[in-house]
Structure 1
Amino acid sequence: MATGQLLEDRYGTRPRRTSRRAYWILGACALLLGGGIAWLGYANLGTAPIQTQRVGFENLEGDAMSLTFEITRNTPDRPAVCIVRTRVRSGAEGGRREVLVPPGPATSRVTTTIRSGAEPVTADVFGCSYQVPAYLSTDLPPSG
């Protein structure tokens, strides 16, 4: 028996080394996967296409409140819908309303009146979207 054969029998064969090419391929795959995850995070958690800020609110007679808010859109040539609401003393929602914001300037002020089920203490904008329901659209076909 040769000496080399005795050593292999005693210690086994040397493990095969991974080539440098495999490391480069794995590194490239990891970079692509990381880039994809970063892009998805930015697309889903990045800046909102519509931003709002409450400018003021005022109590009106008959359990109603007037709300003025400023809306800034990244696509001002599209109509938007904003949901506004009032809150009562307990913190519960007292009233809610959808407001159509027609196409116009990138930043505009909107004033609306919200009816409430009890005396409102504050009002705010719940959220805005470009997905305007058909019943709010101003370009509905004539009924006939």
Structure 2
Amino acid sequence: MSSSDGVSDQPKPQSGPRATYPVERSPSSRRRWFIVASIAVVLAGIGVAYLGFRNYGDPDVSGEATGHEILAADTVAVQYTVNRKSPGNPVACVVRARAQDGAEVGRREVLVPAGDQQQVGMRSYVHTSRRAVIGEVFGCTTDVPPYLKPEE
């Protein structure tokens, strides 16, 4: 027999083309790797989708400014709407005022008391350190600090 028919009793060469280029894998081995890689890609996609929904999905509470009024050089009235999934729980929102250059010149934490409506309209007054040009809602949370009291 010759070595060209693929059958040889000789040991594998340590150098040369046969040592450099390994023998091809069987089709079943390639298929197995394809299936394993496909499952890994699908699991990674599910993981990314879960993290994205958890971080950027529908929040438990959100606040959106609907208007503001500059009352004086040191006071801004901010009107906003708070949307919450559980209206029976109180919510804390941070309302702020910003100057022409974008700097925050006033901030106030506000308690939105528990109620029976998912959407609540609010108006808060923010005292500023200098003239503000806008009032806005910085954010809302369901983690209400113990020192927060209802507005008077």
Q: Report the Cα offset of residue 42 of structure 1.
A: 1.7
Deviation at residue 11 of structure 1 after TM alignment: 6.1
Gaps of 5+ in 1: 139-144
Q: Is 1:35 aligned to 2:46, yes or no?
A: yes
Q: What is the match of residue 101 of structure 2?
A: 90
Identical amino acids, percent of aligned pairs: 31
Q: Is the 8 A contact 2:62 2:141 kept in 1?
A: no
Q: Is 28-37 or 122-131 further displaced after alignment?
A: 28-37
The aligned runs of 1:15-94 (5 Å cut-off) are 15-17=24-26, 18=29, 20-61=31-72, 63-94=74-105
5+ unaligned residues in a row in structure 2: which ranges? none
**Alignment length (residue pairs):** 137
Aligned counterpart in structure 2 of residue 5 of structure 1, from 1, 4, 8: 8
Corresponding position: 1:119 with 2:131: yes
Q: Distance in 2 between matches of 1:62 and 1:32?
A: 56
CA positional deviation for 1:78: 1.6
- Distance, in Å, in 2 between the alignment partners of 1:94 and 1:14 is 72
Q: State the distance in 2 between where 1:38 and 1:22 align.
A: 24
Whichever residue aligns with residue 120 of structure 1, its letter is A
Aligned residue type for 1:49 = D
Distance in 2 between residues matched to 1:89 and 1:23, nearest whole Å: 58
Structure-2-length-normalised TM-score: 0.75
Larger radius of gyration: 2
**Does structure 1 residue 103 correspond to structure 2 residue 103?**
no
TM-score, length-scaled by structure 1:
0.79
- Matches of 1:38 and 1:89, distance apart in 2: 39
